[in-house]
Structure 1
């Protein structure tokens, strides 16, 4: 019985290591790098658009973030801001969510255009984060795209 447990543990660990050691091909890394580059650009554009909407409503980014943090379920403090700021925040939410939804659609299209999906993109991102050689390769790919 003890031998079966040891064999089972060994097989589990071997499978775990195999999944984590999954190779990232040059093709996948190229596609990931292209997707990464475009998603950063799309995200920056969406951030600028959200900032413009926040300022157009008469809030500062700092006030918006304070109110947003206070809406978190674990938040204990409510910022000492006028009620009008909270009303502005609520009025802004549909527009902010629309910008975020548009961003998500665009990002998924970028993934698809580069033969990736969200899950594969995240898996490659995790591997790159953990592997200095992949990081160096990716930096080289990104430098070539400029």
Structure 2
């Protein structure tokens, strides 16, 4: 392997680790806000506060993706990048919630069951993505 190819590969690995750290941080923020605000029966839900965090983290992730040069779904050597698929799915969950619950200070009774499922799914996806991204950020 030439020195240039090795340094290119090293830079790509460092960039992927930085992206993974950004993803882990965003997912962790979502995990934290959803853990702090579980939806319980008919109790008031701070939808505006929760959605502000979800939207903020979605923006951070979108900036990270937009700033990435080259393909995200495959590594430099052409292997599938598992983090990319989970990241795309997670970002779609965030977008869904940001659209459905936009402008609400509480979740109306007619939407609570679906909202509880959505938020539970986002919480699970965030934990999985955070853990995978943390492992990727530590990878050598």
Higher RCO (Cα < 8 Å, 6 or more apart): 2
What's the TM-score once normalised by structure 2's chain length? 0.28
Higher fraction of helix: 1
Structure with higher Rg: it is 1
What's the TM-score once normalised by structure 1's chain length? 0.27
